[in-house]
Amino acid sequence: MESKTSDTDSHYAPAGMYLWDPWFMAIEERVHAFYLQAARDGNHDLRHHNAVSIGHAVSDDLYQWEQQGTILSPGKPGTWDSMALWTGFTLHYGGQYYLFYTGRHTGEFWKQNIGLAISTDLMNFERVSEQPILPHDPELYDTTGEEQNEVGNPPTWRDPYIFKDPQSEDWIMIFSARSNPPGLYNGCIGLARSQNLIDWEIQPPLFAPGHYDELETPQILHYKGLYYLFFSTWDRCYHPDFAKIRTPTSGLHCYVSEDLYGSYRPANQTGIVLGNGENLYSVRMATFLRDRYMAIGWLNFDEKSDFIARLSHPIPMNLDSDRVIADFAP
């Protein structure tokens, strides 16, 4: 079942599959990568709707990855996650592995909800419910729309990231969402709280700057007394007024605060950490190594502009107060 990266391409992808939107979990000396995957055939722009499943690989050095197979596939016909699975997050707690994930179904093509599956061996995952654990909430968030908007983005209720708040000891979930009132450039970071990882109470948005139409694959790090809020977005998602004062940039962004629920200011004065055109996207921290975080994203294109959909090499990330410096070499 295991296969290693080929000699002809040093960037990992599961055999015969596209890979995108990875997330990571470090256990002892190994790092586990989880990612979206779909068959490497047909039009790659349509991969999001083509029976997307979640794959798993492990590594000792963040360069060579051992493929572990598929850990979760779309649900049975008629269920809320029957069409495709989208980005999620995995954590180890109390002897179990919790896989939070986004699901879509054919009845409401663009609607997204967040579900949970649990495993004791990281191989066999069972859904905890036939329903999502965090269905989209129309009271606190904008969940309108069945089509892509004028910016080219669909409704947003996806990409969960979970951590334990060091101040309250509550479990916190952040996710990509849209704030009320409905409209353009209302991308936000949604928020929910839990005591047991199963039952979640939806809260008002954690971060709703009004500057971006979409904030994807968010992540929070609490490091040396500061909260670092990371997300990815595209240059086309900048509000036109914001684009007049900040050069629209696709890639990894970061805002910083002393308090989880406080006011967030842009890291590096611009909020931009990694701008790499359309080549590198959805960068997530993978592990803490040699006094710095190591991050990994996925590569869209190779040097010939061919779509490749593979993991990037690890990117050293230095966090220093309001500065986040990335040393990226594809």
Specify the amino acid at residue 227: Y
Describe the chain by its helix, strand, coil percentages, rounded to 5. Answer: 5, 50, 45
Report pLDDT digits (tens) over 148-178: 899 999 999 999 999 999 888 899 999 999 9
- pLDDT in the model for residue 45: 84
pTM for the whole structure = 0.95
**What is the residue whose two structure tokens read 């990568």?**
33
Q: What is the DSSP letter of 96?
A: E
Report pLDDT digits (tens) over 64-98: 999 999 999 999 999 999 999 999 999 999 999 99
* 256 closest CA partner among 218, 222, 289: 222
* 11 closest CA partner among 296, 288, 328, 304: 296
Report pLDDT digits (tens) over 255-301: 999 999 999 999 999 999 999 766 899 999 999 988 899 999 999 98
Backbone angles phi, psi at 269, to 5 degrees: 70, -25
pLDDT greater than 60 at residue 206: yes
Separation CA 157–CA 274 (nearest Å): 24
Q: What is the DSSP letter of 136?
A: -
* 67 closest CA partner among 99, 35, 20: 35
And the tokens for 26? 């470090």
Separation CA 208–CA 299 (nearest Å): 28
